[in-house]
Structure 1
């Protein structure tokens, strides 16, 4: 049974986490546009590739087409980004799996912001707690209203609570810097917080919050 889908977008591969961490029989790989070719260069054949592939040379595209058995072609002029198309396929094919998106940070800021807000798309919002954006330095997870305890990643020092929408009654109970029933009227980031133990407890009653665990390089 597939327990995780790893979507590899076309972002700077020098910012990827160690990709072998995710290899295993329970992983389904999706290469998005140039991400499909970069996976092949890492010795990983994607289970599925999607995109308009306008970032590939004809020789590179031929290599992808020769090795990847399931390819979904898009046109360059479209409403969805290639990463959105990859996420749609991931959620449809494996509705119980965790979805990890690599190659979604770095490079153009418009691409990064599109990816950061991707889970707020109404088509994805109900599933956003299954989605993570990961690079070498950061892990971004998403939360709907509720009460949560998150675990510290061993190599991460910093903790940020990013309100992607207006948020009500935000409480940070046991981080280094705390809040109690704080009202956030517009998107903003509470950055450079820290764990004081192995877990951190927070809650809120409306809105969407992204939690970023990060480290210096």
Structure 2
């Protein structure tokens, strides 16, 4: 089951036709209200809802199948709570996270680095972060093969912390057994054919498909 999560990032970063997808939806804080205004009834709304007026919160409670309202003083972010709910409560096998980029940089970094936490890292290859220009996949150590996505020209590999023996054997710009102790971004690579393979022996890598703004 695919579950989509809509966080509260800028609407200018939403992909086209975002609200036409056939999937279950979780709204994170104001994201729940945006879903409702686009005629989608979220299966779940999660957050402290401190960005809403009382009237807006009433509307969310009236139009969501279930709501989890938490104290604003907490250890986990609203998006982390939503991601945990997607896997543990809705039993998702794939999660697409929208509204997680653009706007505040601290939110963007939090949404990427949360996938290094042990409770989420077990699901890391089932999560994608998607906006108007980017699609981010996440991988743990191993041999991997990815496919070209239409309209995405660039392919970047980002070591999220210590990564050993990163090898890109058949991309436009090759890399062989590269080990890094700190996060490093190998950007603006490209596919040479319809698929590309890569491997690494330890760590977590984000693979970013991207294109320039229209």
For Structure 1 versus Structure 2, the TM-score category normalised by the shorter chain is over 0.9
TM-score by length of 1: 0.95
1:106-151 Cα distance to aligned partner (Å, 9 max, x none): 0111111000112111111111100110001101111010011101
Q: Is the contact between residue 46 and residue 82 of structure 2 (CA under 8 Å) also seen in structure 1?
A: yes
| Partner SS for 1:207 | strand
2:171 is aligned to: 175
Q: Partners in 1 of 2:115 and 2:64 — Cα distance? A: 27
Asked if 1:46 corresponds to 2:27, the answer is: no
Q: Is the contact between residue 98 and residue 131 of structure 2 (CA under 8 Å) also seen in structure 1?
A: yes
Asked if 1:61 corresponds to 2:64, the answer is: no
Q: Partners in 2 of 1:128 and 1:60 — Cα distance? A: 33
| Partner SS for 2:95 | strand
Report 1:55-204 matches (<5 A): 55-204=51-200
Asked if 1:16 corresponds to 2:35, the answer is: no
TM-score by length of 2: 0.96
Q: Partners in 2 of 1:6 and 1:128 — Cα distance? A: 15
Q: Tell me by how many angstroms 1:94 deviates.
A: 3.6
Q: How many pairs align?
A: 213
Change (3 A) 1:119 1:22: farther
Q: Partners in 2 of 1:106 and 1:193 — Cα distance? A: 22
Asked if 1:32 corresponds to 2:28, the answer is: yes
Q: Tell me by how many angstroms 1:19 deviates.
A: 4.2
Q: Partners in 2 of 1:39 and 1:47 — Cα distance? A: 11
Q: How well do the aligned residues superpose, as a CA RMSD in angstroms?
A: 1.2
Q: Tell me by how many angstroms 1:43 deviates.
A: 1.3
Q: What 5-or-longer segments of structure 2 have no aligned partner? A: none
Q: Tell me by how many angstroms 1:21 deviates.
A: 6.6
1:165-195 Cα distance to aligned partner (Å, 9 max, x none): 1111110011111001111121110011111
